[in-house]
Structure 1
Amino acid sequence: MSPSMFPTQHAAVLHAAKDLRLEERIVWSPKPGEVQVQIASTGLCGSDLHYYKHGRNGEFAVRQPLVLGHEASGIVTAVGAGVTGLVVGQRVAIEAGIMCRKCSFCQSGRYNLCKSMRFCSSAAAFPHVDGTLQTRINHPAHVVHPLPDTCSFEQAALAEPLSVLVHASRRAELTAGQSVLVLGTGAIGVLACAHARSLGASRVAAIDINQTRLDFAKKNGFADQTYCFPPADSPKNAEEQLRRAKENASLALAALDKEDGFDVVFECSGAEPCIQMSIHAATTGGKVMLIGMGTKNATLPLSSAALREVDIHGSFRYANTYPAALELLSSRKLGNVEKLVTHRFKLQDAKKAFETLERGVDEDGLLVLKVMIGDGQVS
């Protein structure tokens, strides 16, 4: 059969920095063990934006055309041989990581650390694995999750970033009654606030340099308290930066009436000054969860952490979180989480969607947090 006889679809394909093209591609049938999903909603992530802006995300440069997007939901349109538990017409969320299922990490349940992990819309592996900014995608059935009846496609697309916080909260052993501080109130930071509240945190505070984001977090009930740092000159050296981080932590804690620090600090910005400040902002015996990925190498005040027994934990993606995340999203325990989605675009307007996310404000000057691409429904 000639290629012209196969059905086709559209995909948003990145060829180089800022070179995003809407292309027509063949729709292939799913292989054994796969299902085909017609995409309803895809949320844009910070890593997607890095690829769009720079043609790379950290050390991983795009070496071949790559379909972006990995926060997605849709409906099953075809089922490959050997698949059980999923049927055509079923509403699902797509877990973007494809693990080997054989290594020691996979066998022990920590498959997010699988060294053979292949992740949709990431250039970490070669050949790259295309993401979800396309009409349909074939994906392994074992990482496709049925949606609760009350979970919308847009909510389900939030399961991927929410999973990051479910995983981090489990590592922090966050329990009801603990106080939580979130550094950085982008989409991940707002979800950190929402998830902490859903677990019964006694107080949730947020810190940022962007007052508009903080106002959003407080107005919509995600944070009890907020603190905005004013603009400041860059420190002259590492010693001054560490000193300033300690001073800034003290100022923030005093303003938040929490001089002794918070039980758990979620560092969601990835900025070195915030990472440094997070250690001082944690209470004695508290925990710092490193979630933001913006700084490759950071100078840390480890003596402060050691003397006060502040535990510093890394947190990378997620494992075994999707059922819990989807249940949370359908339960209304996350408050106004749907308001996190501030802007919506069609697939053919993907380039405009990325440009809007990059600016951080839309043409009317309104805050941009989570951008969704898709119809939110399927035919």
Structure 2
Amino acid sequence: MSPIALPTQHAAVLHGPKDLRYEPRTLWPPQQGHVQVQIVATGLCGSDLHYYMHGRNGDFALQAPLVLGHESAGVVTAVGPGVKNFVVGQRVAIEAGIMCRDCSYCKRGRYNLCKNMRFASSAKTFPHLDGTLQDRMNHPAHVVHPLPDNCTFDQAALAEPLSVLLHASHRGAFSPSSPPQTVLVFGVGAIGLLACALAKSYGATRVCAIDINQARLDFAKREGFAQEVFCLPGGDRAKTTEEALKRAKENVGAALIAFGEQDGFDLVFECTGAEPCIQMSIHGAITGGKVLLVGMGSRTSHSP
């Protein structure tokens, strides 16, 4: 008797820096507790771009071919054994991290700190766990989330980066029930724009943004994400730590004057991870204010 041929699908597979290949792969049925999702929308995270450009993201280097993508939504196409809360055709968003559900962090509800976390599209663990840049993927049902009818797939793909801001706000005790606050956002990429939107939805009295890219700032202001924006001046890199700190204080001071907030903002979202912006964010907060470090930084630089 001939073996049954399994169907195939296609995936965008990263083999090394700038080596992305469109390849056929076997489409396996979902196992116990998993669902199969046809991917409809996937956002591109900064980590995806780092992997593509350099074959690594910080300390996490590619050790084998990897499918990128983790900001995604789609439609359930198959349900594995034991799954009772999903049906074929259901619209869902995918949570890319798979926690162990057994450690002390998971049991306390802080599963983002799980030391056994496996994350789709990350080279942190080996064997790597493939991400969402494929036709369909099998994923544990407990980290797949049903979508309301009024949520588009593109909007649902933003659920993963939005969750980063929601978590940061929770850690900073910032919520819709908080007293009205002024908010400053460093960086108006996808995360920064979501920080602006979140601040507005939480009742911030004023939302301002800082970046080095005037076009991004113009977009943020034009589309109503930020009320006022400030473009940081260019210039040579500071040669000493003292010079860098002095320049950071001067630059943010100029921004605060331009915003009419010389005393600083109640809450600062630092969404770049850039060392100068981290330094500026401290000076950008009012005395007794809060700074939320959201951006993923690089290794600490050392002056000669």
State the TM-score, normalizing by the size of structure 1. 0.77
Deviation at 1:121, TM superposition (A): 0.2
Equivalent of 1:189 in 192, 199, 208:
192
Instruction: State the partner residue of 2:101.
Output: 101
- Separation in 1 of the partners of 2:120 and 2:231? 35
Structure 1 counterpart SS, 2:266: strand
- Separation in 2 of the partners of 1:26 and 1:6? 7
The answer (yes or no) to whether the contact 1:41–1:72 under 8 Å persists in 2 is: yes
Question: What amino acid does structure 2 have at the position aligned with 1:32?
Answer: Q
Instruction: State the partner residue of 2:12.
Output: 12
- Separation in 2 of the partners of 1:140 and 1:253? 47
The answer (yes or no) to whether the contact 1:176–1:202 under 8 Å persists in 2 is: no
Say whether residues 1:29 and 2:53 are aligned partners.
no
Where relative contact order (Cα < 8 A, 6+ residues apart) is larger, the structure is: 1
Instruction: State the partner residue of 1:136.
Output: 136
- Separation in 2 of the partners of 1:259 and 1:182? 16
Deviation at 1:283, TM superposition (A): 0.5
Query: Structure 1: which 4+ aligned runs deviate by more than 2 Å?
Result: 1-4, 294-299
Q: Which runs of 5+ in 2 are unaligned?
A: none
Question: What amino acid does structure 2 have at the position aligned with 1:244?
Answer: R
Instruction: State the partner residue of 2:180.
Output: 177
Question: What amino acid does structure 2 have at the position aligned with 1:257?
Answer: G
Describe the superposition over 1:181-201 as per-residue Cα deviations: whole angstroms up to 9, x where unpaired: 000111111111011101111
Deviation at 1:84, TM superposition (A): 1.8
Deviation at 1:177, TM superposition (A): 1.0
Structure 2 counterpart SS, 1:236: coil
Segment drifting more, 54-63 vs 230-239: 230-239
- Separation in 2 of the partners of 1:47 and 1:19? 16
Structure 2 counterpart SS, 1:277: helix
1:193-272 correspondence runs (5 A): 193-272=196-275
Question: What amino acid does structure 1 have at the position aligned with 2:107?
Answer: Q
Query: Closer, same or farther in 2 for the Cα pair 1:239/1:136, shift >3 Å?
Result: same
Structure 1 counterpart SS, 2:24: strand
- Separation in 2 of the partners of 1:298 and 1:233? 15
State the TM-score, normalizing by the size of structure 2. 0.96
Structure 2 counterpart SS, 1:126: coil
The answer (yes or no) to whether the contact 2:33–2:83 under 8 Å persists in 1 is: yes
The answer (yes or no) to whether the contact 1:183–1:189 under 8 Å persists in 2 is: yes
Deviation at 1:3, TM superposition (A): 7.9
Describe the superposition over 1:5-53 as per-residue Cα deviations: whole angstroms up to 9, x where unpaired: 1100010000000000000001000000000000001111000000000
- Separation in 1 of the partners of 2:37 and 2:284? 44
Question: What amino acid does structure 2 have at the position aligned with 1:288?
Answer: V
The answer (yes or no) to whether the contact 1:182–1:193 under 8 Å persists in 2 is: yes
Q: Percent identity?
A: 69
Describe the superposition over 1:93-127 as per-residue Cα deviations: whole angstroms up to 9, x where unpaired: 00000000000110001100000000000000000
Deviation at 1:295, TM superposition (A): 2.2
The answer (yes or no) to whether the contact 1:68–1:131 under 8 Å persists in 2 is: yes
Structure 1 counterpart SS, 2:10: strand
Aligned residue-pair number: 299
Structure 2 counterpart SS, 1:5: coil
- Separation in 2 of the partners of 1:79 and 1:88? 7
- Separation in 1 of the partners of 2:91 and 2:301? 42
Deviation at 1:294, TM superposition (A): 2.6
Deviation at 1:164, TM superposition (A): 0.8
- Separation in 2 of the partners of 1:47 and 1:294? 12
Describe the superposition over 1:270-310 as per-residue Cα deviations: whole angstroms up to 9, x where unpaired: 110000010010000011111111323379xxxxxxxxxxx
1:135-174 correspondence runs (5 A): 135-174=135-174
The answer (yes or no) to whether the contact 2:93–2:156 under 8 Å persists in 1 is: yes
Say whether residues 1:78 and 2:81 are aligned partners.
no
The answer (yes or no) to whether the contact 2:162–2:194 under 8 Å persists in 1 is: yes
Q: Please report the RMSD computed on the Cα atoms of aligned residues, expressed in angstroms.
A: 1.3
